[in-house]
Structure 1
Amino acid sequence: MENNAVISIEQVIDYIENHLSEKIDLETVSTTVNYSKYHLHRMFTETVGLTIHDYVQRRQLTEAAKLLVFSDKPIIEIAFICGYESQQSFTTAFTAMYKTSPAQYRDKQEFYPLLLQVVIHNKKVNTTLTKNNIRFATIEDIPSWMELLRLVVDGYPVLDETDYLHKLKICIQNKQALVLKDGDLLIGALAFSIPPCCIEFLGIHPQYRKRGIQKFFLDALIEDYYPEQDICITTYRKGDRADTGYRKELQKLGFAERELLIEFGYPTQRFVLTAKCSETNDKRLSSNKTEI
């Protein structure tokens, strides 16, 4: 990503963040930054990992969730503040993303974001990184890890940072946390638990999501640390409007759907990446059965 493109996206994000109380669409933003709608859509999606529409909706609903928990403003007023023209349209959008109505969310008094403001960097992306650059995380990596977490929070519904930080420290102490850096920028992180081998967190910086970094981490986990083991992970269920592409990415990486779950009150689904040795054994068993 060229620096001038990054700077343009920073301008777009600044504009959106300063106008979250208004109705924002691609045409309005493209006119403001003097770019064609097609070019802006492509550039924004490549850099941030979301369309402008998805970014705006998640940011507005996150601000709405914050007001529901930390203010006593009426729901209809919150709807207007966050860019919605009616309480009904706000309630429909909020419920689709948070899996609970605004009133029920307020009653729980537990705020968690759908998306925080994306902060992008201006450095040139390093295209020479491989899985060999991945290392175990240390306590010193925690601040940058948490910054990355906030960038990819859209993939982790019902996130409690305090609880997460406690578990992260345990993973680091047990050497169950891996990181990849581009210079001083943390661009990828993976935390896992054993046994069985379950990925608890796999976060990639938005500007590196199309660089194959996810596969680097999986290859490192399978080849260098836990060969001959199935790997599981949970993510959004099919059709969940809060999913920004995590299911599709897991399927591209070879994960297969398994059972439906409820985690922290949120509907999810488990995915499993079968170990190569298990696949080989399965083929051998099938071959033996055929011969018999």
Structure 2
Amino acid sequence: MGSAESRRLKNAQAAVDFIEKHLDGSLSLDRTAAAVHYSKYHLHRIFADTTGMTIHDYTLRRQLTEGARRLVRTDQPVLEIALSCGYGSQQAFTSAFREMYKLPPAQYRARRKFYPLQLPFSLGEDGTSEELSPENIRPAVEEDIPVWLELVRQSVDGYPCLDEADYLRWLKSAISGKRALILKAGDTAAGVLGFGFSGGRGTIEYLGIHPRYRKQKAAELLVRELSGKYLPGREISMTTYRSCDRADTGWRAILKKLGFEERELLTEFGYPTQHFVLRPGPGGE
């Protein structure tokens, strides 16, 4: 099994590497599949199974991320940025950008605050990762910060408006306060969770799952550990994307599968989100 999984990882990573080298051009499943010498149907299945994301969505998110970076960090005209990101017109780029970033390019540029929709996947080639187990969940320590941050970069699709410098300050505080849990798979962080509590309620402040482990119940293991051991009998809340947000890569579905219930709509850091709650008892520990 390890050998077969290693081949899957290697093929998916080859597709990622090709996409990363050609973000400034027109990318398609056909072109990517031809470059890595696979049928488009086989590559589509491998990529989606390995990363939880289609090649189309990954490419779209990476090109728009690079477009956002150039909007903030250069003075290039929007049309020039659009063409450099593989779009045939400024109108097509503006439409896609607004749908994912919730602002037209000109307004986003005026804010001068860049955040990524998607950073490059780094999947590795070792397909022999151990089975995830609750016994491998523990409070994070400062030595875990590098692998934790690497996981944050791999799962940034779940957190719009993430600022890594601000996040690092929060992470150090969470580790110091024993409010940061890490689930390891070998030397890799398969999942991480940061939490807080006040007034009898708990809050998941951050939940990140490595793309390779999103189908292995990493989120379920972490949330169960939190609700059963650290916040027993408490209501637990979390926020994520609103319904029908094209930027959502499946985080709403993850929360609903874990038993979280929808609550009020919110706006956080200027981004439209929704509050979710996991009640103690049935559906929660």
How many angstroms does 1:243 deviate by? 0.4
| Residue of structure 1 in register with 2:110 after alignment | 107
Change beyond 3 A, Cα 1:101–1:131: same
Q: Counterpart in 1 of 2:247?
A: 242
Distance 1:126 1:3, change over 3 A: closer
Counterpart of 1:62 in structure 2 is: 65
Query: Out of 271, 276, 280, which is 2:276 matched to?
Result: 271
Q: Which amino acid aligns with 1:234?
A: T
Moved more, 24-33 or 102-111: 24-33
SS at match of 1:194: strand
Does residue 259 of the first structure (1) align with residue 269 of the second (2)? no
Q: Which amino acid aligns with 2:224?
A: D
The structural deviation recorded for 1:125 is 4.3
Kindly state the Cα deviation for residue 128 of structure 1 after the two structures are TM-superposed.
3.0
211, 229, 232: which one pairs with 1:227?
232
CA deviation digits over 1:219-250, x for unaligned, max 9?
10111111101111100000111001111111
Report Cα offsets for 1:48-67 as digits up to 9, x if no partner: 22100000000000000010
Q: Give, in whole Å, the separation in 1 of the partners of 2:13 and 2:219.
A: 25
User: Under a length normalisation based on structure 1, what TM-score does the superposition of the two structures give?
Assistant: 0.93
1:96 corresponds to which residue?
Answer: 99
- Equivalent-residue separation in structure 2 for 1:172 and 1:9 (angstroms): 33
Contact 1:228 1:277 in 2 (8 A): no
Give the secondary-structure state (helix, strand or coil) at the position aligned to 2:229: helix
Residues 235, 279 of structure 2: 8 Å contact kept? yes
CA offsets 1:182-239 (integer angstroms, 9 cap, x no match):
1111111000111221101111110011001111011101111111011111000001
In the alignment, structure 2 segments of 5+ residues that lack a partner are: none
Q: Which residue in the other structure is 2:221 paired with?
A: 216
Corresponding position of 1:26: 29
Count of aligned pairs between the two proteins: 280
SS in 1 for 2:125: coil
Select which of 183, 192, 212 maps to 2:186: 183
Shift of 1:124: 2.5
Is residue 254–residue 273 contact of structure 1 (8 Å, CA) maintained in 2?
yes
Name the SS for the 2:95 alignment partner: helix
Q: Which amino acid aligns with 2:180?
A: A
Instruction: Give, as a single letter, the amino acid of the residue that structure 1 aligns with 2:74.
Output: S
1:25-80 Cα shifts (integer Å, max 9, x gaps): 11111122221221111100111221000000000000000100111100000000
Q: 2-side partners of 1:85 and 1:129: how far apart?
A: 44
Which residue does the alignment assign to 1:118? Answer: 121
**Structure 1 counterpart SS, 2:147:** helix
Match of 1:284 in 2: none
CA contact (8 A) 1:180 1:186 kept: yes
Partner of 2:192: helix, strand, or coil? strand
Alpha-carbon spacing, 1:129–1:278, altered in 2? closer, same or farther (3 Å): closer
Structure of higher CA gyration radius: 1
Deviation at 1:129, TM superposition (A): 2.6
User: For 2:128 and 2:178, how far apart are their aligned partners in 1?
Assistant: 28
Report how far residue 279 of structure 1 moved: 8.8
Partner residue, 2:8: 5
- The one-letter amino acid paired with 2:140 is A
Q: Distance in 2 between matches of 1:121 and 1:80?
A: 31
1:134 is matched with: 137
Q: Which stretch shows the higher mean deviation, 92-101 or 34-43?
A: 34-43
1:72 aligns with 2:75: yes
The runs of 5 or more residues in structure 1 that have no matched partner are 281-292
Give the distance between the partners of 2:127 and 2:7, measured in 1 at CA: 11
* 2:206 counterpart SS class: strand
Determine the C-alpha separation between the residues in 1 that align with 2:248 and 2:13: 24
Q: Distance between the aligned counterparts of 2:15 and 2:143, measured in 1?
A: 33
